[in-house]
Structure 1
Amino acid sequence: MVRPETAYERFRKMKPEDFHGTTDPFVVEGCIRSLEVIFRYMDMMDDDRVRCTIYLLKGDSSLWWEGVERGVNIATLTWEEFKRVFYDKYFTSDVRSRLKREFMSLRQGDWSVVEFVPKFDRGYYFVPLIANDVAEKL
């Protein structure tokens, strides 16, 4: 009798990239977005999402997680809670503030529409992340 694949085995077949740790907000958010695409496609539950993501943490991010793990209950940690802890480390409030300032001061100036739109779209993408932070709203 053939054993059915586990969620983890199906997840690994999607070839997600390992995360080694960076505070580049575009890399951090790109990592989370790509994982969420896989999770939605696989209809993966929170606990599997968290476990699979933890497996992808390598190098400095793996060391960081070992410290975090001492203060959280991994059995009850939701995906949203994991993202909050992850963003607190890798998409810090000072980075969010900087992105907000950059976006709010963005002007087309001498750029063509073709040059300006990608800069606007990139900044606009981060507005919900910034706006969802109570401190940033103030």
Structure 2
Amino acid sequence: MDPTKARAWLKEIEKAFTLVKVEADQKTYFAGYFLKGEANYWWESKKALEGDGVITCDRFTELFLEKYFPCYMKNQIEIKYLELKQGNMSVTKYATKFIELARFVPKQVDTDEKRAKRFQQGLKPWIRG
């Protein structure tokens, strides 16, 4: 269970849906089709538990993220983001790590000001100055 891979998979599926103009009521069927291995077994059992009604794409996304990006993982990533310091990293490597973690904490970086302030806080003091 790698939350970054799970989020990346969802992003790729959403891009594919946009590209081929998949109708909203078909998205869940297509997303389910592209699940492989354990994820496919999980989805088959989850569909049975959800009942006979239509499972919307939003509901699919919610269920998928509950399974592959649960709250405790979100909390761990948020802590990593908040504790991120440049340390021995180059500024470029620090920036890359910052961007990687920031995409998982959208409320922390929802303005340029918040993003810049947090980025500066993690820099080495002599660079920050």
TM over 0.5: yes
Of all paired residues, the percent bearing the same amino acid is 26
- Give the equivalent residue in structure 1 for 2:94: 116
Summarize deviations over 1:84-138 as a string: whole Å, max 9, x none.
Answer: 000001111111111011001011123221111110000001113899xxxxxxx
Report the CA distance between 1:42 and its aligned residue. 1.9
Aligned with 1:111: secondary structure?
coil
Q: Equivalents in 2 of 1:47, 1:130: separation in Å? A: 33
Whether 2:84 is the aligned partner of 1:106: answer: yes
Moved beyond 3 Å, runs of 4+: none
Give the total of aligned pairs: 109
Residue segments in structure 1 that go unaligned for 5+ positions in a row: 1-22, 132-138
Greater C-alpha Rg: 2
TM-score, length-scaled by structure 1: 0.71
Summarize deviations over 1:26-51 as a string: whole Å, max 9, x none.
Answer: 11111001111111122222221110
Q: CA RMSD in A?
A: 2.1
Name the structure with the higher helix share: 2
C-alpha spacing 1:41/1:129, structure 2 compared with 1 (3 Å): farther
TM-score, length-scaled by structure 2: 0.76
User: Is the 8 Å Cα contact of residues 50 and 82 (structure 1) preserved in structure 2?
Assistant: yes
User: Is the 8 Å Cα contact of residues 96 and 130 (structure 1) preserved in structure 2?
Assistant: no
Residue segments in structure 2 that go unaligned for 5+ positions in a row: 110-129
User: Is the 8 Å Cα contact of residues 78 and 105 (structure 2) preserved in structure 1?
Assistant: yes
- Give the equivalent residue in structure 1 for 2:123: none
Q: What amino acid does structure 2 have at the position aligned with 1:54?
A: G
Q: Equivalents in 1 of 2:67, 2:107: separation in Å? A: 14
